[in-house]
């Protein structure tokens, strides 16, 4: 309150000085002169912004965004921000796409596939000029020009990179409950047999535990142990390439590959052994709930998820400890990295002018400093958390605020007091020995094949997901599934993808 009173006093004084100058032949600064993105003494009316997040707001998060977060943003950049939540099922489609198509004004995160689709439909705002003026902190802290280039289409910027973390092999590793692994007398997981043995021993000690939990089943988790020299890199669900051949643009129909067949057979075996829950497709929310309750052994892995999962699961099981495992020989199939990209934020299309600048300022602000990252992750110091003398977090509030993965930035990283030095070292060195993803800077324009893609997605859900999750036998179901994929237009899709990918590689060599 005192700060606002002081601000009001300064604003009144500035207005008086301005009037005096006008009366004496002086002049006030021109509008926008010296604008750094910070509010001037004489503020214009704040611009409005709606930030869409996914999941469910905790009670403290609701209070935080309506009060401390709202007020601090308004004070810093003169943006009146409202935070709304949608279920994760609405991300990159569903209600999100409906809101975009109906002209609602908001900002939320995107991925490269959804970005291409939205740009082709005119759903996203061109933020090139606004970012040049007001996104310099993001450029400095979130990977530089290389990461900005990922979100450009035809030279125009449509999303802002957000976060900066080692991410090699995201979804190509398995995150496991290390505390339970050690409890059953094991130390590490290197092979399929190790994973199966861990499940068997843990199930004996904890009959109510399930095998695979959060993140579902993704074939690339076993890429390192299948009998193939190809380092499978999935450009999207349907298209793959050899990640080890950095100069080769050849793409493949992933679902028609020998590599997919081998992965599917592994998951069928795991399903029959009970390692994949029978309700993996019918009740994903139950699997998530069991995972959060500390009753799952495995999850889809990534470097940073160790911390994310421990933060969440330790609320139910204070002993929970996670570790990432790559199955197979990493020297033969190195992990592939997309640089420092965590996620990206796009603004809906009909936002423009000062309002668009306000949205860019908002996203920039949230990665501008240690103070702001601490604020959105942990809340108010002394109320929600404390920092120990050695720089570690000591949480007071146990409700989640912004999800930890979202603003995760190695430049501003703090660790909970229960995180070990070994975990920190592993995370910070995670990208050592990795190779770059072959599609860095590539954005597929879905427009020419959007009908085929929609049909392919429907086929995938009905015919391929049951195979991938082990519910049905590969040999019994694959012929019909591939036939349906052909009818949906996979050949046309692959032809267009190869054409654009060839053009991308030709441009790289110029």
- What is the rounded average pLDDT for all residues in the chain? 90
The structure tokens listed for 441 are 């800077």
DSSP string for 322-339: EEEE--S-TTTS--EE-T
Q: What is the pLDDT of residue 510?
A: 65
Q: Do 226 and 172 contact (CB within 8 A), yes or no?
A: no
The pLDDT tens digits for 444-496 are 888 899 899 999 999 999 999 999 999 999 999 999 999 999 999 999 999 99
The pLDDT tens digits for 37-78 are 454 446 799 999 999 999 999 999 999 999 999 999 999 999
Locate the DSSP E strands across 165-231.
173-177, 210-212
User: What mean pLDDT is predicted for residues 175-196?
Assistant: 98
pLDDT higher than threshold 60 for residue 23: no
What CA–CA distance (Å, rounded) separates 62 from 83? 8
Which residue, among 95, 101, 157, has the nearest Cα to 348 in the 3D structure?
A: 101
Handedness of CA 116, 121, 123, 129 (dihedral sign): positive
CA 253 to the chain's CA centroid:
25
CB-neighbour burial class of residue 441 (10 A; exposed 0-12, middle 13-18, buried 19+): middle
Residue with tokens 């990159």: 92
Question: What kind of fold does domain 44-165+342-411 have according to CATH?
Answer: D-Maltodextrin-Binding Protein; domain 2 (3.40.190)
Helix H segments across 273-405? 284-292, 305-313, 353-365, 370-378
Rounded to two decimals, the pTM is 0.77
What CA–CA distance (Å, rounded) separates 190 from 273? 19
- DSSP run (H or E) holding 466: helix 465-468
Burial per residue of 344-382, b for 16 or more beta-carbon CB atoms within 10 angstroms, e otherwise: bbbbbbebeeebbbbbbbbbbbbbbeeebbbbbbbbbee
Residues 6+ apart with CB under 8 A from 74: 46, 80, 81
Q: What is the pLDDT of residue 39?
A: 46
Residue with tokens 């704040």: 46
* Strands of 232-234's sheet in order across: 232-234, 239-242, 252-253
What CA–CA distance (Å, rounded) separates 444 from 461? 22
What CA–CA distance (Å, rounded) separates 97 from 454? 14
Q: What is the pLDDT of residue 149?
A: 86
Determine what percent of the chain is predicted with pLDDT higher than 70: 91
The pLDDT tens digits for 91-148 are 998 999 999 999 999 999 998 878 888 998 999 999 999 999 999 999 999 988 888 9
Q: Phi and psi at residue 188, in whole multiples of 5°?
A: -155, 170
The pLDDT tens digits for 227-282 are 999 999 999 999 999 999 999 999 999 999 999 999 999 999 999 999 999 999 99
The structure tokens listed for 445 are 């324009």
Domain boundaries, the chain: 44-165+342-411
3-class DSSP state of 388: coil
Residues 6+ apart with CB under 8 A from 314: 320, 418
Determine what percent of the chain is predicted with pLDDT higher than 90: 75
Q: Do 298 and 174 contact (CB within 8 A), yes or no?
A: yes
What CA–CA distance (Å, rounded) separates 120 from 446? 7
The pLDDT tens digits for 306-317 are 998 998 999 999
What CA–CA distance (Å, rounded) separates 178 from 480? 40
The pLDDT tens digits for 408-450 are 898 998 888 899 999 999 999 999 999 999 988 787 888 899 8
């Amino acid at each position: 309150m005192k700060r606002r009173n002081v601000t009001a006093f300064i604003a009144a004084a500035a207005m008086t000085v301005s009037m005096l100058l006008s009366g004496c032949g002086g002049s006030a600064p021109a509008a926008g002169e010296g604008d750094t993105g910070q509010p001037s003494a004489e503020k214009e009316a704040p611009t409005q912004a709606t930030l869409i997040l996914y999941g469910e707001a905790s009670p403290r998060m609701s209070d935080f965004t309506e009060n401390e977060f709202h007020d601090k943003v308004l004070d810093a950049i003169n943006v009146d921000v409202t935070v709304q939540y949608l279920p994760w099922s609405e991300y990159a489609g569903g209600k999100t796409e409906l809101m975009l198509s109906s002209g609602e004004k908001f900002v939320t995160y995107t991925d490269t596939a959804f970005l291409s689709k939205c740009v082709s439909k005119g759903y996203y705002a061109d933020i090139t000029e606004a970012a040049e003026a007001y996104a310099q902190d993001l450029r400095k802290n979130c990977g530089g020009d290389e990461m900005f280039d990922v979100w450009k289409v035809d030279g125009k910027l449509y999303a802002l990179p957000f976060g900066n973390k080692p991410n090699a092999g995201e979804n190509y590793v398995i995150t496991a409950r290390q505390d339970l692994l050690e409890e059953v007398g094991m130390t590490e997981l290197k092979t399929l047999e190790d994973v199966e043995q861990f499940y068997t021993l843990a199930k004996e000690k904890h009959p109510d535990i399930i095998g695979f939990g959060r993140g579902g089943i993704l074939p690339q988790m076993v890429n390192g142990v299948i009998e193939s020299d190809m380092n499978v890199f999935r450009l999207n669900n349907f298209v793959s390439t050899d990640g080890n051949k950095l100069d080769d643009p050849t793409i493949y129909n992933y679902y028609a590959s020998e590599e997919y067949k081998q992965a599917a057979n592994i998951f069928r075996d795991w399903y029959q052994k009970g390692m994949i829950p029978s309700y993996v497709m019918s009740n994903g929310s139950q699997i998530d709930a069991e995972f959060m309750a500390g009753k799952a052994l495995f999850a889809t892995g990534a470097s940073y998820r160790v911390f994310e999962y421990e933060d969440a699961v330790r609320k139910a099981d204070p002993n929970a400890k996670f570790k990432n495992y790559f199955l197979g020989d990493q020297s033969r199939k190195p992990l592939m990295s997309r640089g420092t990209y965590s996620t990206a934020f796009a603004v809906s299309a009909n936002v423009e002018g000062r309002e668009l600048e306000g949205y860019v300022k908002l996203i920039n602000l949230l990665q501008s400093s240690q103070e702001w990252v601490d604020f959105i992750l942990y809340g108010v110091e002394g109320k929600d958390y404390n920092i120990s003398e050695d720089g570690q977090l000591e949480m007071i509030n146990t409700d989640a605020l912004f999800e930890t993965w979202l603003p995760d930035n190695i430049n501003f990283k703090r660790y909970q007091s229960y995180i070990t030095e070994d975990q920190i070292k592993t995370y910070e060195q995670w990208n050592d020995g990795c190779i770059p993803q072959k599609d860095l800077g590539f954005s597929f324009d879905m427009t020419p094949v959007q009908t085929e893609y929609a049909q392919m997605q429907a086929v995938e859900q009905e015919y391929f997901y049951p195979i991938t999750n082990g519910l049905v036998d590969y040999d019994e179901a694959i012929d019909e599934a591939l036939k349906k994929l052909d009818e949906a237009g996979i050949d046309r899709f692959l032809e267009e993808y190869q054409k654009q990918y060839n053009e991308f590689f030709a441009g790289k060599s110029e």
